[in-house]
Structure 1
Amino acid sequence: MFKNRKDAGEKLAQALEKYREEHPVVLAIPRGGVEVGLQVSKRLGTDFCLVIARKLPFPDNPEAGFGAVAENGSTVIIENAGYWLAGETVERIKKEQIAEIERRINALRGGKPLPDIAGRTVILVDDGIAMGSTMRAAIELCRNKKAKKLWLPYQ
C-alpha cells in the first residue's frame, strides 16, 4: 500500500489538494503522524503543528488502553473502564499522562502553544488508528477549540 510514512503522506496530500484554498492547519499526532502530516502540510503550503494526545494505559498492560487525554485536557474514557479500574486509579494515570504531555510539548514544540484553530479547517493526521482513543481525544480538542471543519483521512 505505502512504502513508508513519507510515501503515505505524499499520497494523502494529493487526495487533499482540494482543501488547499481553505488554508487548513495540519495537526499531527506524534510519533507516527508527524512524517505523514508534514508531507500533507508541505504539499498544501499550510500551517503544521504537533498535537499531543496520550493513551491512558492499563496499569498491568501498558500496551492496552482504557481511553486517552489530549493536551487541553479533553478526555475519552472507554465506557466500561469503571468496571476494570477504580476512579482513583483512572485519575492517577490521567495525571501521569498529562505530565508526559507537558514534557512532550516542551520537547517537541519548544513549549509553544497550538496555533489558534477557531474557525479554521483542521486536517488531523496520525499514521493509523488502533483503538482510536488518542484520535478521539484529539477530535475533542479540536471541537473544544472551535475548529470550523475537521477532516480525518481515515475510513
Structure 2
Amino acid sequence: MASGFADREAAGRELAQRLAHLRNPGEEPVVLGLPRGGVPVAAQVARELSAPLDVIVVRKLGLPWQPELAMGAIGEDGAIVLNEEIAGQVSQADLDQVVARERAELQRRVALWRGGRERVPLAGRTVVIVDDGVATGATAAAACAVARHAGAARVVVATPVAPPDVVRKLRGQADEVVAVLTPLGFRAVGQWYGDFAETPDEEVTRLLAA
C-alpha cells in the first residue's frame, strides 16, 4: 500500500471529514452503505453526521449470454433501471427471467442484512451512498438511480478511493461526488487499504442493528 487507509473504519472517519458540510440544518442526510464492504465505512460517516444508517441493495442485470455486461439494475420497491441500448438485445421473456432471478436474490440479501427492519425513507432527503471504493462506477451509478426512484431530493456518492475518470463519470449520475483519494495509479480498491479483509454478513447486520 503506497498510501491510503489502515482499514475501512479509518477510511470512513477520513471520508466523514469531507462530508461535514452535510451537517447543515435542512440537509437531513440518510447514509446508505453498499454491502458488504461499504457498510463499515458508511457506519463511520453516519456516526459523524448523526444520520440514520441503512443499506442500499442493488443487483446488476447481466445479459443472459454475457452476464458481466450490465443491461440494467434493480433495487428495492420494484425499482428497475435499464440501459435500453443493451436491454434491447434481449426478448421481454429473457429480460423478465433475469429480473425475477435477481429480484429473488435481492430480497434474500435484504432480509439477511436488514433483519425485518423497515428501510429508512428516502423521499425528500439528501441520500449519501457510500462504498469502500469505486472501481468502475457501475454499482454506484445504479444505486444513484435507485435512490432517485425512491424519491431522494439530492444524491451524494462518497467513497474513500476512486479513479479520477470514474469520479468524473459519476458526476453525471449524482449531485455531488466526494472521494478522499483519486489516484492515477488505480488498479484495485484493495491496494489502498492495509486491511481489506472481506466484511462478513454478520458484521453488516450488527452495524445496521446498532
Q: Give the match's secondary structure for 2:146.
A: helix
Return closer, same or farther for 1:25/1:82 CA change in 2, 3 Å cut-off.
Answer: closer
Partner deviation per Cα, 1:32-89 (whole Å, 9 max, x = no partner): 2111111111121210001111111333444443321111222222343245433322
Match of 2:149 among 126, 137, 144: 144
Match of 2:83 in 1: 78
CA contact (8 A) 2:71 2:87 kept: no
What is the rounded CA distance, in whole Å, between the counterparts of 2:134 and 2:125 in structure 1? 24
Q: Which moved more, 1:41-50 or 1:2-11?
A: 2-11
Q: TM-score, normalised by structure 2?
A: 0.65
Match of 2:51 among 46, 67, 76: 46
Partner deviation per Cα, 1:5-54 (whole Å, 9 max, x = no partner): 22321111010011123331101111121111111111212100011111
Correspondence list, 1:106-125, <5 A: 106-125=111-130
Measured on the aligned residues, the alpha-carbon RMSD in Å equals 2.2
Gaps of 5+ in 1: none
Q: Give the match's secondary structure for 1:35.
A: helix
Q: How much identity, in percent, do the aligned residues show?
A: 37
Q: Which moved more, 1:77-86 or 1:9-18?
A: 77-86
Match of 1:68 in 2: 73
The structure having more radius of gyration, on CA atoms, is 2
Q: TM-score, normalised by structure 1?
A: 0.85
